[in-house]
Structure 1
């Protein structure tokens, strides 16, 4: 422990001397200052992280960890990054006036910026990235004239960028991104002529446009102002930045035409202007951008044809122009440079054929052209493109046959060719090796004919196989049973015949099976009942005979079946899920009978049962003895239980409080809250009580289930320490916990407005939860989950995301709660809390059923369900009948709507809502609830898309926007193509 008197004396000297100049004799004073820094820091174990900071062990402070000294022996560099430190930034750092380099990034520092830092006149590098600092941007740093590198991003700074930030004469790097800044970007930024990198985007929300003075920054190499609310036009002065190699202005509301002056930026390699309101054509001057490797202009209002010179850019690797109004043909030379890796031209009005040389250099891994008017065959060269991973060309007029070798490409992961005019058969790959990564094949709505080849069983990694609405004939080959990863199989609306191959039951991962509208015959195989996670089974409109197997009633996972319009006979099962199905699932089978249909004739099953009086004397004696033994056993068990309760009561007397911040209460005062009248919630993770501490502060106390073993806590203490150190605006703060070795009481900050689930579905019915508040809650909850997934080390999975675990403070600001508790309950042996571990019914991702594992994409699925709750106002389950959940109901409703679109599912209690916002939130929700986890975005991407809120278009477009948007549900995957870059 340091000498406090020495520290006090040093502090006094500092106050009496405004500017402290160190010399060799001040070495001890520097060491004392560092020890003061150490004392003021907080972490899980600050003395472990800075254990070498000890005068007894090492008198020379220049040898301490994370420190570098100048040749004169003064501290010149201090790097405390990523040490999990928390609390305010130590003002005692200003007692090191020779400091030139200071890195405090990736910690949990909070509070405002210390004003004493103005004394660090020699500071050249200051990095505070990714902390929890609040308040306005510090004015003090503007006086540090030697500053070359300043990173204040990834915090919660508010207000405007100070105009004095245009004073630094030597600065080369300035990052203010990832805060909550507002106002205009000051023109004074244009004075920083030495600047090489400028980052102002992401989560900031500026009210103006790009200042024309930005053109003065002629030394700039990288300019990133993405996703920060910019409006107006891109100033032509930006063309003066001749050294710029990266320009990111995506996800704003920039309008007007593309400035031709951008073509003067000869060094430009990456240009992203996507997700704006830019109109007009691509300027011809862009042909001078010969160093360009990335060109993203998607989601704008560009029109006319794609200039032919785009295909001639010699270094182009990524071209994304989707969701514009481009017409005409795709440039013929595209791909000839040999560098093209990703091409996305979807959702335009392109015509003509696909260029033949897209994969000329064997670098192409993704090609997406869906939603155009392309015709002609798929180039044979794509069938030999060894680098190709994703091909998505659905919703065009492409004809001809599928290239023979396409499905044998070694890196192929996804093939979507649905809604075209393809002919020929499903390619027979013979004994060729199939990429184990090939997870999806969609060939729906084409003109494929012939039978399915036996080689279809070679697609070992296939998860989705969609072949519906074709002209396929013959039998379903038994080899299909080798597709052990298959989760969705749709071969409906074909001309398949023969029996349902029993081998299909070996596809243990199937959740969706549709064989309807074919010519299948024979009986339904009993073995189907072994498919334990099958949710959807449709065998309607075939020629099936015999009974519905009674064994199907044991399939607890079935939520939807359709056996209608066959020649089935016998009694419909009445047990299990069959007790919930509608009569429509069995219509068109004259010989079927049962509860849904005509009554079945009486059978021998209804014979009268024997009464006890008819038993023999011996049987009666055995019955009496059995009852007597059972009574004695119950009595013994009661005594044992009483003893255990007594021991438990004794052990519960010694409670220990662990606090994660300064608390003005004790465990006894927390225990006083555990009363029935204080209970405000109850679930698998424990019971929650509201408590009022002696100082008047309200808290929420969660009592967790007791451990099975009192000898140790199964790592609970170490794990809960991690949660206690988390500080984020949108995560419920854990103040501390009380434990006696058996029970645990978690003390949280109290949220007066309860949970989102209560507000949305409670007595008031969400009527006062207006749309603006709902959208705000969606963004805030997403930020909280994003922090857990991407900014915690190690990442924390929630495992039980639901509306009841999103709590609302007095201002209806969202806070994620109960994160990580499922893991702790599992580790501590609380087996009764399986709902918290596996998730809650209605929120559970499909893959959990067959992997029994939860990952971050499972959290994303659950969050998507929460978004659907916000849009529809409905609960996840219980409102749709027949075991249908909200995801299935939404998909069915949207798919069947011809004129209502999204209006069919919007919460009718809302007086009004911006249709473009409702559409956008619905888009994000559907991305999150994709069946295949690999197709869902990450939470970081969810936050980005949610904050990328499109502005409303012209009135006529806005009136029809809902119908237009919901008609494109099948194209929602397009959004993720942006996110994969």
Structure 2
């Protein structure tokens, strides 16, 4: 292709130059565009109309010329618009031959390489849009040195790196600058605000850091500023209110702090104020009402405190208000009733209290979220005559995680447009009203974790749009109605922890989109429908602790179903439960002593027939045995070949290469790629040990771990990942692993390197000699019992390791005692962190299937699609870990007729004043009560059902350090 392009240019240029003598203006444009076309790839033939034999290009696709009928018209190419054309290659400098080009748009293509700095030398160019391509490298400083005519520049959604060049200040005429969604870094230069013509600036979704420089008030004409999703610190510019024409302000998802500058009250034209995801403090000021044009206000995920100001009611233009995830208290002011244009109100996860306001349903809102507060009372809707607007418009209603009681009102079914309904984690009584069948637009219905009784409405099939149905942790009874098969869009069904009975209907197998089914901890009986194997999208299926019987289905998902998902059904049989199903024998032949001779003759004939059949069966058995023997020999030969290949693959990584890490050595030979972060190019391992069961240290949701000796005699721990079908591309895999390899902390297991082939991925970790905390607590000898001091140090050290991960914005997802390793000095090291980032998407169903062994550690929000997974789910698991270390008990223990959940056991003991009974008896009373009891309470707080009630890990560390008694004058307790 390159040769063809070169020949095209070589042979066309003389012809075109010769033709310039006829019509120089038009042919100069033709030449520039044809040379531009020769340097790009056009798989869809969008430029097929571009013909070098044409006198002028004005009729070509994407080309526009000045109107020749206009005065002062040059009749030359003025615009080149090739957006969304699937073009690729490099942007050639031949466009310089278009001296009258004023608009160039090549957005949403696949152009690569760096930005051509010569483009800015097209003196007539006013608008340049190269967004949504694959451009990389830094922005050339010389590009902005010659941009005196540019009005708008967009390089958004590329892979640009480096800092903003100082030459940007030369663009004195620039009005719009969009560099969003790149990888630009460094500090924002103070000279940025010297671009006095700027009307709009968007630097969002980059990696800019440091404080926002002063001087923004100099941009009198600024209409919009967007700096969200960077790493900016400090406070908002105090004089930002002097930009009186600002209509849109977005500083979301940074690390900004302090209070809102009062000058903002002067932004009377501002329609959108988004400050989400920072650490702003103080009260929301009353003067916010002076911003009378506000339509969207998002102050969520900050540390605003105090009461919600009544002044909000004075902003009649408001359409969306989000004050969620702050520490606001008091009640919800009725002044919101004056916000006649309001469509969305979210005040979730604060400390609001009082009765659930009835007036909120009179506003005709589309979305209402009051979750995670302390609202009490019952759910009361105004009569339909007064709230017809709400019944018609409401799409989202989230009242979860409050203190609501009473019943679900039957006229809930009047909300015909409701798409999302969440009433979970309250104390709601009564039954599910039959009127829910009228919610035919509802996608998510969650009434879990309440005190509901009765049965599922028999005509639940009316919820034809339903995708998620969550009824777990109630007191529901009855059977699963067969009408549920009409909910054809259902992807998630959770009926666990109820009292449902009867068989599991085969109608469920008709729900072909189902991905997750949880029917555990009920009273289901009978046989499992064989048709369940038709559910091709199934990711999790849990029927544990019921009364099911018979053979498990064979095929599809059920060939790899975890044992824990079918536990507690003693009458189930099959290979998964390692229980053979009883053979079906023919009825025995009963001989009648009074039978006639003819009968005996018939019997003799039958016996002879059975002998023939037996002979045929014997032949078949012999043939099968020979076939199996040949198979064993074949497999043995193949195994020897595989081992030889693996030995070669193990030796191959000795070739050193160059990697983008300064101390790594790699090879990309046929056998794979090895990278050691320490620069140890002599690293070698015996790959066949990965097939040796004796070297296996343990298995987890992401793979098995083996101990392997390296050349210098030391050991390493190698995790052989078993999620190859889920792992990202090699490029993404290596980027994530290298990021994890840069993490260093005394309480984190060090990642030493990795090995990659398309079918085999290994993570090479430091080897921790004493093994896992789980083995020390639950499998250790009584004489090796951990002392209280050792247990406390393990808890504190693990907290420090986990806190360090959270500082790096890494969620562990799988905190449990098997992932806490203890070194020779007794110090803990958190392992297996960051593995979830190797998955293509952080889907909670995929994660839950990979962390089945974490039963008891997983936070309740992990199973709720409507609650965001944050680092607080790690805090929950850590709380359970604290209780496990202190009590010596497993998070969930299965008795003969009962299941004991550790958190519930300890919380009940604490309420009854006998918490000391829960302390591990192996300590034999040798522990300071003044430390042990507060540590237990801390564990329960961390394991709170409500995420906002849990402390963060930094707070956990401070609490532990306060709990620790002074060591002076105390003897170490063993």
> Is this a same-fold pair by TM over 0.5?
yes
1:155 to 155, 158, 172: 158
Q: Tell me, in whole angstroms, the C-alpha distance in 2 between the residues paired with 1:512 and 1:805.
A: 33
Q: Tell me, in whole angstroms, the C-alpha distance in 1 between the residues paired with 2:673 and 2:311.
A: 58
Is 2:67 the counterpart of 1:67? no
Report the more deviating stretch, 337-346 or 530-539: 530-539
Cα distance, 1:691–1:169 mapped onto 2, change above 3 Å: same
Q: How far is 1:400 from its partner?
A: 2.8
- Residue-by-residue CA offset, 1:474-503 (whole Å, 9 max, x unaligned): 777665676563742426355x7xxx3447
Q: Tell me, in whole angstroms, the C-alpha distance in 1 between the residues paired with 2:208 and 2:829.
A: 24
Q: Which residue of 2 aligns with 1:419?
A: 425
1:186 to 173, 184, 189: 189
1:459 to 458, 463, 484: 463
How do 1:905-944 and structure 2 match up within 5 A?
Answer: 907-908=819-820, 925=842, 927=844, 929=846
Q: Tell me, in whole angstroms, the C-alpha distance in 2 between the residues paired with 1:220 and 1:129.
A: 22
Q: How far is 1:418 from its partner?
A: 2.0
Q: Which residue of 2 aligns with 1:440?
A: 445
SS of 2:187's equivalent in the other structure is coil
Q: How far is 1:278 from its partner?
A: 1.0
How do 1:869-880 and structure 2 match up within 5 A?
Answer: none
Cα distance, 1:351–1:137 mapped onto 2, change above 3 Å: same
Q: Which residue of 2 aligns with 1:978?
A: none
Q: Tell me, in whole angstroms, the C-alpha distance in 1 between the residues paired with 2:273 and 2:622.
A: 85
Q: How far is 1:330 from its partner?
A: 1.1
Any conservation in 2 of the 1:468–1:493 contact (CA below 8 Å)? yes
Work out which structure has the larger RCO, using CA pairs closer than 8 Å and 6 or more positions apart in sequence: 1
Cα distance, 1:628–1:196 mapped onto 2, change above 3 Å: same
Q: Which residue of 2 aligns with 1:712?
A: none
- Residue-by-residue CA offset, 1:25-61 (whole Å, 9 max, x unaligned): 343233222221111223436xx332222122x2222
Any conservation in 1 of the 2:391–2:414 contact (CA below 8 Å)? no
Q: Tell me, in whole angstroms, the C-alpha distance in 2 between the residues paired with 1:104 and 1:629.
A: 69
Q: How far is 1:507 from its partner?
A: 2.4
Q: Tell me, in whole angstroms, the C-alpha distance in 1 between the residues paired with 2:292 and 2:819.
A: 51
2:344 to 320, 333, 342: 342
Q: Which has the higher Rg, Structure 1 or Structure 2? A: 2
Cα distance, 1:945–1:513 mapped onto 2, change above 3 Å: closer
1:389 to 391, 395, 420: 395
Q: Which residue of 2 aligns with 1:525?
A: 526
Is 2:37 the counterpart of 1:31? no
- Residue-by-residue CA offset, 1:329-354 (whole Å, 9 max, x unaligned): 11213254333222221221111233
Q: Which residue of 2 aligns with 1:904?
A: 816
Any conservation in 2 of the 1:486–1:507 contact (CA below 8 Å)? no
- How many pairs align? 703
Any conservation in 1 of the 2:233–2:256 contact (CA below 8 Å)? yes
Q: Tell me, in whole angstroms, the C-alpha distance in 2 between the residues paired with 1:577 and 1:625.
A: 31
How do 1:469-618 and structure 2 match up within 5 A?
Answer: 469-470=473-474, 485=490, 487-490=492-495, 492-493=497-498, 500-502=501-503, 504-508=505-509, 509=511, 511-514=516-519, 516=521, 524-526=525-527, 528=529, 530-532=531-533, 535-540=541-546, 549-552=549-552, 556=559, 557=561, 559-560=563-564, 572-579=571-578
- Residue-by-residue CA offset, 1:305-351 (whole Å, 9 max, x unaligned): 11112244212222111211111111213254333222221221111
Q: How far is 1:467 from its partner?
A: 3.8
Any conservation in 1 of the 2:208–2:230 contact (CA below 8 Å)? yes
Q: Which residue of 1 aligns with 2:955?
A: none
Any conservation in 2 of the 1:315–1:337 contact (CA below 8 Å)? yes
Is 2:305 the counterpart of 1:303? yes
SS of 1:106's equivalent in the other structure is coil
Cα distance, 1:623–1:244 mapped onto 2, change above 3 Å: closer
Is 2:716 the counterpart of 1:801? no
Is 2:173 the counterpart of 1:170? yes
SS of 2:345's equivalent in the other structure is strand
Q: Tell me, in whole angstroms, the C-alpha distance in 2 between the residues paired with 1:170 and 1:480.
A: 64
Cα distance, 1:623–1:472 mapped onto 2, change above 3 Å: closer
Q: Which residue of 2 aligns with 1:371?
A: 372
SS of 2:305's equivalent in the other structure is strand
Cα distance, 1:235–1:455 mapped onto 2, change above 3 Å: same
Any conservation in 1 of the 2:179–2:203 contact (CA below 8 Å)? yes
Cα distance, 1:217–1:486 mapped onto 2, change above 3 Å: closer
Q: Tell me, in whole angstroms, the C-alpha distance in 2 between the residues paired with 1:266 and 1:93.
A: 44
SS of 2:33's equivalent in the other structure is helix
Q: How far is 1:272 from its partner?
A: 0.7
2:48 to 45, 51, 54: 51
Q: How far is 1:279 from its partner?
A: 0.9
Q: Tell me, in whole angstroms, the C-alpha distance in 2 between the residues paired with 1:189 and 1:429.
A: 60
Q: Tell me, in whole angstroms, the C-alpha distance in 2 between the residues paired with 1:311 and 1:416.
A: 27
Q: 5+ residue gaps in structure 2?
A: 67-72, 385-389, 590-606, 628-640, 662-667, 678-686, 691-701, 711-720, 741-757, 764-770, 772-797, 803-812, 850-860, 876-935, 950-974
Any conservation in 2 of the 1:344–1:367 contact (CA below 8 Å)? yes
Q: Tell me, in whole angstroms, the C-alpha distance in 2 between the residues paired with 1:372 and 1:341.
A: 21
Q: Tell me, in whole angstroms, the C-alpha distance in 2 between the residues paired with 1:342 and 1:810.
A: 39
Q: Which residue of 2 aligns with 1:125?
A: 127
1:354 to 356, 369, 385: 356
Cα distance, 1:475–1:109 mapped onto 2, change above 3 Å: closer
Q: Which residue of 1 aligns with 2:101?
A: 99
Cα distance, 1:464–1:366 mapped onto 2, change above 3 Å: same
Cα distance, 1:800–1:262 mapped onto 2, change above 3 Å: farther
Any conservation in 1 of the 2:210–2:233 contact (CA below 8 Å)? yes
Q: Tell me, in whole angstroms, the C-alpha distance in 2 between the residues paired with 1:689 and 1:44.
A: 43
Any conservation in 1 of the 2:130–2:155 contact (CA below 8 Å)? yes
- Residue-by-residue CA offset, 1:196-223 (whole Å, 9 max, x unaligned): 1111110x21222222211211212211
Q: Which residue of 1 aligns with 2:909?
A: none
Q: Tell me, in whole angstroms, the C-alpha distance in 2 between the residues paired with 1:342 and 1:691.
A: 58
Q: Which residue of 1 aligns with 2:664?
A: none
Cα distance, 1:616–1:355 mapped onto 2, change above 3 Å: closer
- Residue-by-residue CA offset, 1:919-960 (whole Å, 9 max, x unaligned): 99799946574899xx999xxx99x999xx99xxxxxxxx99
- Residue-by-residue CA offset, 1:497-540 (whole Å, 9 max, x unaligned): xxx344744222475343746xx6xx923365544458211454
Any conservation in 2 of the 1:343–1:368 contact (CA below 8 Å)? yes
Q: Tell me, in whole angstroms, the C-alpha distance in 1 between the residues paired with 2:528 and 2:304.
A: 55
Q: How far is 1:6 from its partner?
A: 6.8
Any conservation in 2 of the 1:478–1:502 contact (CA below 8 Å)? no
Cα distance, 1:617–1:492 mapped onto 2, change above 3 Å: closer
Q: Tell me, in whole angstroms, the C-alpha distance in 2 between the residues paired with 1:271 and 1:433.
A: 38
1:231 to 222, 233, 246: 233
Q: 5+ residue gaps in structure 1?
A: 14-20, 581-593, 608-612, 634-674, 700-728, 730-745, 768-777, 779-797, 816-838, 844-865, 867-873, 875-896, 951-958, 973-981
Q: Which residue of 2 aligns with 1:719?
A: none
Any conservation in 1 of the 2:401–2:946 contact (CA below 8 Å)? no
- Residue-by-residue CA offset, 1:773-821 (whole Å, 9 max, x unaligned): xxxxx9xxxxxxxxxxxxxxxxxxx994326856655996589xxxxxx
Any conservation in 2 of the 1:802–1:840 contact (CA below 8 Å)? no
Q: Which residue of 2 aligns with 1:888?
A: none
Give the TM-score of the pair, scaled to structure 2. Answer: 0.61
Q: Tell me, in whole angstroms, the C-alpha distance in 2 between the residues paired with 1:266 and 1:462.
A: 43
Q: Tell me, in whole angstroms, the C-alpha distance in 1 between the residues paired with 2:669 and 2:414.
A: 57
